[in-house]
Amino acid sequence: MFITINRRTIIAILICVLIVGGVCGTYFGVRASASPKPIHTIVIDAGHGGIDGGAVGKVTGVDESHINLEYAQTLKALCENFGIGVTMTRSDMNGLYDVTASNKKRSDMERRRQIIESSNADLVVSIHMNSYPLPSAHGAQVFYAQGAGSGKRLADLVQTEIVRAIPSARKTSSVGDYYMLNCTEKPSIIVECGFLSNPEEEKMLVSEEYRTTLCYSILSGILQYYDM
């Protein structure tokens, strides 16, 4: 069970932004097509891709790399609607590895690190789906690197918003020893959106309603982190 986001509220806010932007643009002689430079920019990392499909759902057969990208693209659209710039590590189903690399996983991870470090991003959000041998395991959870104060603050804010919208989520964020958390000094979190190994959660994960709700929760945490 999860709480549906009031989309009318989101749409109303965006309409107001567009109207105000149009009026200001006309008054100050700015072209309507001009877009202001974002104050904040984030990296959204869709985990896996290419030959690395990640976890596979038992009910629908969906692979993690596909659903990760869907969530990443939804989050990107929400962030940009609120004036946050976004750099994606991948925007299609291809992997980021060098096809000639002997260790494609290492090559893929290194390319993600390069994208993060070459961006002007303030923080990193890596999107994943979880899996566990016991099908009863469930609940979205956010991870941060050990000793990363800013990363923990971001993780706690995002986890709180996820729990607010999705009561079945894990109640607290947790330390994680993962490459995507340790490869940069930028505040970074991994969002495990739910368990593909849990049949009931898998059904929710592939639904547009759950995806929108969870991604809006991530955005809400990010906005609080930026004090927006």
Residue 133 burial (CB count, 10 A):
6
| pLDDT band, residue 209 (cuts 50/70/90) | very high
pLDDT at 5 over 60: no
- The string of pLDDT tens digits covering residues 163-206 is 999 999 999 999 999 999 999 999 999 999 999 999 999 999 99
pLDDT number for residue 33: 39
Burial 1-12 (b: 16+ CB within 10 A, else e): ebeebeeeebee
* Residue 174 in tokens: 């947790």
Rounded to an integer, the average pLDDT of 86-106 is: 97
Rounded to an integer, the average pLDDT of 130-147 is: 97
CA distances from 157 to 95, 165, 180, 223, 227 (A): 30, 13, 19, 9, 11
Q: Locate the domains of the chain by residue range.
A: 38-225
pLDDT at 8 over 60: no
Q: Using an 8 Å Cβ cutoff, are 217 and 156 in contact?
A: no
Residue type at 216? Y
Percent of the chain with pLDDT over 70: 85
Determine the angle formed by the axes of helices 208-225 and 149-165, rounding to 10 degrees.
Answer: 140
Q: For the ranges 4-8, 57-61, 80-84, which has the lowest average pLDDT?
A: 4-8
* Residue 65 in tokens: 């790399």
Rounded to an integer, the average pLDDT of 35-53 is: 92
CATH number of 38-225: 3.40.630.40
Q: For 164-204, what is the HEC assignment?
A: HHCCCCCCCCEECCCHHHHCCCCCEEEEEEEECCCHHHHHH
| Cβ-based neighbours of 115, under 8 Å, separated by 6 or more | 43, 87, 89, 96
